[in-house]
Structure 1
Amino acid sequence: MPHMTIEYSANLDACVDMAGLCTLVSRTILETGLFEQGAVRVRAFRAEAYAIADLLPENGFIDMNFRIGKGRSAEEKKRTGEMIFAAVSEYLAALFTTPHFALSLEIREIDAELSWKKNAIHPRLRGK
């Protein structure tokens, strides 16, 4: 259950290909070798209303929240976060040339007893 939610300020629409960013994040998650392809979800949500720092209209943000199931070591989680953050930072390098952009990533573990799922994609990808 690796689910990445990307929230971003609407003013980034003109300068960031969000579909491309989602694809990059999905590929990077799979490259860790820790997650099954059929479970990976990456989605981006545009924030129309926001107030950032000193309220300049050119201020923008991307906040990534990565929810995963339990079972990975602290080292594996750290390596995963570092891989994702490095890939996204490189993808967004142009935004860091201005003093108006903030990027964040947080990894959260989900309590399996409080999470329900039903997935018809797994059998297809597993060849069953």
Structure 2
Amino acid sequence: MPHIAIEYTSNLEGHLNVQDVVDALHSTAQQMDIFPQWGIRTFATAVENSRVAEDVFGGENGYVHVRVKVAGGRDDATLTKIIDGLHGALSSSLSTLCSERPVGFQLEVFRFDPAITRSGGSIPGSPTQRL
């Protein structure tokens, strides 16, 4: 953990450097010294069908929404460090785009419940690694 899911409206394609946003959020999570390196996952998806604010379908307004899932048990100060750090990275990575066109963005942190979550795989270092 964390799992960082980035959604962006497809009208930003060609204007938004998606890999830069992914890299900014991922490297910020790595540098926080909160998360195990093997647990950080960051991915982005374009949303094809959307409307933002007063736009008609396919209008100029763009939007970037980031959901961050973290394991429970972290205190409020740690959660604040996570949201402030990642929001700062997101803001910085979108600053040029926001100055060139109308774009909104939001970042939310969610705690998952390990009692109702299962994981698996073969990522080195992961406690779920199967040989």
TM beyond 0.5: yes
Runs of 4+ in 1 over 2 A off after TM superposition: none
Structure 1: state its 5+ residue gaps. none
Tell me what 2:43 maps to.
43
| Bigger shift: residues 103-112 or 52-61 | 52-61
Percent identical: 23
Tell me what 1:62 maps to.
64
Per-residue CA deviation, residues 8-45 of structure 1 (Å, 9 max, x unaligned), is 00011111111121111110011111101111100001
CA contact (8 A) 1:9 1:46 kept: yes
Per-residue CA deviation, residues 49-107 of structure 1 (Å, 9 max, x unaligned), is 00110115110000000001012111111111111111111111122225621010000
User: What is the CA RMSD across the aligned residues, in angstroms?
Assistant: 1.5
Amino acid at match of 1:96: C
CA contact (8 A) 1:39 1:122 kept: no
Tell me what 2:77 maps to.
75
Q: Does 1:2 align with 2:2?
A: yes
Match of 1:108 among 91, 94, 110: 110
| SS class of match (2:7) | strand
| SS class of match (1:122) | coil
Separation of aligned partners in 2, 1:99 and 1:19: 19
Structure 1 residue 111: deviation in Å? 0.3
Structure 2: state its 5+ residue gaps. 127-131
Separation of aligned partners in 1, 2:101 and 2:18: 21
| Bigger shift: residues 48-57 or 91-100 | 91-100
- How many pairs does the alignment contain? 124
Amino acid at match of 2:22: C
| SS class of match (2:124) | helix
CA contact (8 A) 2:71 2:112 kept: yes
